[in-house]
Each structure stands twice: as structure tokens, then as C-alpha cells.
Amino acid sequence: MHAVGLITEYNPLHNGHRYHLETAKRLTDADCTVVVMSGNWLQRGEPAILDKWTRAKLALQAGADLVVELPVFYATQPAHLFARGGVELLSALGVAQLVFGAEHPELDFGRLATALAGASGDFSHYNATYATQFNAALKAATGVTLTHANDMLGFCYYVANHHLAHPMQLLPIKRQRVAHGEEKIADSHFASGTAVRAAAFKRDWVAIEPVVPASTLIQLQTQRLQCWDDFWPFLQYQLLTVNVAQSGQYDQMAEGLEYRMREKAQTATSFTDFLHQVKSKRYTYTRLQRVATAALLQLTQREVQTAQAHNYVRLLGFNATGQAYLHQVKKDLPVPLYTKINKDLRLHGLNLDYRAGRVYQLVNGASQDLYRQPWRL
């Protein structure tokens, strides 16, 4: 059996994601589709609208054969680390091809990645965001800038893939009609995740129904939907009570930001208000959300970097095809395979994911890790 891989969030799974799955299978004629999916905390530094178990089941129902979790120490990182974590897992699982969506699939991502590899710069100047500095370096090296989210992520997949001992074949496909982050549902079949989430919080099921699979609509209508405002009281408590010497150690915290965040937590009335008060030219809202996630989960830079050196496969679900493929590759897995969290793993090997799940569970109410078994469809 040979497999095609996808790196996803499914927040929530919509028709564009289903198109991605179907196209990946058609392009590669793969026997098995392996999905690496973020858990309950996402790359933009926010909680998933539906928990990881619900989203994994939706992925299987939409055509995935095997779903594994991208650990929180990669899932909540900037694009280059998010991509590295996902690519590492697909490679560990013996996947031959990675298919991803891009705004401009015609770009020669491989050439861009090779060209920037020789560029210098640490992108740490105080007068611009990381993205601005990165694109300045890319333009200087190649004459190209990447201003669209999925183009940038695709570029990062190529960089991560380049460092593998046995690189995969990477296949970009065109995103369908709707721009990433489009805030309104204006198409009869496709919508961005942003627009679907906004409509779901308004319970506008008529608008959502044409742009998501029926199984997604049912879950949105019946499950507890999470957003940052649900977790704001917990974050505010953390920022007001934890010593700044400790909060300064949180992952992606830098340049005295811990003092600014603690000060603004004194007066902020909501998470959105807090972000507006903390925002400066140096930091994007996404960066601030990722730092807020690290603060909420008390993820330190040291433990995140240590965990990134010890990646693992956490199984969330599979069907008969996925089970057969897993049986084929598991004897050669270069990383540990976990099918459930017991009391020992929650304290050691899976500590960070267990911590992230327990915090999410404070709002969601459903057990996220301890003794949960993968879905078998």
C-alpha cells in the first residue's frame, strides 16, 4: 500500500476540505489517505471550535483513512515549525506524497525554498513583524513575496521536506474560489473556515448547510462550540497571578511582552479587548494569540523545544484501510506510536498534550485524553 498525506486543522471540516481529500486521492491514486490534524489548539493560537475527537471522526466520514494528531508543541507554532511537525509525522508514517492547498500552486515552491536557504538574517528586528522581515529576505533572494497564508505554508512544507533523509513528493492544488480568511459565506458551495465559524456562533444553519458536509452541520448544531472568550477568565487569572519571571519563560514570549500582557490584563474586559490593548507594530494578532495560548497552557519555551525533539504518532482514528496501512508501517516507525494516554504517559511522554486537553476540557466538558480510544470506522 502507498499513502498520500494531508496536514490539516479542519476547524471545522467544510466542502473545501472534502475537495482537498478527494483531489489528493485522485491525483496520487493512493491506497490510503493519512491526515495529520491539529488537536484542540491551533496554529493561529486559538481553540478549535469542535474538539479533536469530533473533528477526527468527521475526517474519517469525509474520506480520510488514518487520522493522527499534530502535537500541541507543533500545532501552536509559526508556519515553519507547524509545517516541520506535520512533515516529520507523515515521513515517519512512510507517506510518499503530500498534497496541500495553495492560492498560487503554479509557484515554484522548491526553487524559492532553495534560494532562501542561502539568505542571511535572523528576522528579529524590533521595527517590523516576522512576516514582513521574512518576505523582505525572500524578495531579495528571489524577487517573490508570499502574501497569502497557504502559499506561505506550502513554502514551509518544501523547506521541511528538503531536510528529510527521504523527501516526499509535494503536490500543490488550487484553493477553490474562496480566499483564506474570507469572513462571509458568499458562495453556493465553498466557504472559508472563518466564515463557517462566524455563522456557527450565530447559529445561522441555513447559510452553513450548503458549504459543509451534512455530518459537520450536525456536529455544529449539537456540540459545544469553543472560542477564545470561553477561556479568557482562565487566561486573565494566569496573567494576574503568575510571577512575570515565570511568565517570561512561556513559549514565544519575548522582549518584555510579559510585562505588557500582565498590565493590560488588569483592565481588559474580554479577550478581544485584551488583544487590542496589547497590540503593537512589532506583533501580529496571530503572534499574540499564540503567546496567549502558551500562557494559558503554561507551555514554556524550554519544554516545547525539548518536546519538538521527541515527536510521536498519536492515533485519533482509522478505518479498515487505515488499520491495514498502520499495520504495514508500524514495525518500522522511527517515533513512538500512542493509541491512548494512561496515567504514566500523562505525566511524562504526553504531558503537554494532556495539559492542553485538560484546559480545553474545562470548557468543552468532554474527556479529551485519559483512556480515550481511537475511532474505528
13 is in an annotated binding site: yes
Question: Which of helix, strand or coil describes residue 183?
Answer: coil
312 is in an annotated binding site: no
Cis? peptide before 71, omega within 30° of 0:
no
Q: How many angstroms from the chain centroid is the CA of residue 265?
A: 26
The response to whether 7 counts as a known ligand-binding position is yes
11 burial via Cβ count (<10 Å: 0-12, 13-18, 19+)? buried
- Would the annotation count 181 as a binding residue? no
- 102 SS3 class: strand
Cell of 255: 522582549
101 in a labelled binding site: yes
CA-to-CA separations, 22 to 18, 38, 64, 230, 266, in angstroms, rounded: 6, 20, 9, 35, 49
Distance CA 150, CA 6 (A): 13
Confirm whether residue 319 is marked as ligand binding. no
**Has 18 been labeled as part of a binding site?**
yes
The answer to whether 310 is annotated as binding is: no
Task: Give the integer Cα–Cα distance in Å for 116 and 162.
Answer: 12
DSSP result, 253-316: --TTHHHHHHHHHTT-SSHHHHHHHH-BTTB-HHHHHHHHHHHHHT-BHHHHHHHHTS--EEEE
User: Residue with C-alpha cell 504518532?
Assistant: 313
20 is in an annotated binding site: yes
Beta-carbon contacts of 337 under 8 Å, excluding residues fewer than 6 positions away, are: 312, 313, 315, 330
Q: Which of 336, 372, 368 is nearest to 355 (CA)?
A: 368
Residue 11 is labelled as binding a ligand: yes
Burial zone of 222 (CB within 10 Å; 0-12 exposed, 13-18 middle, 19+ buried): exposed
Enumerate the known binding-site residues.
7-20, 101, 150, 175
Enumerate the known binding-site residues for ATP.
7-20, 101, 150, 175
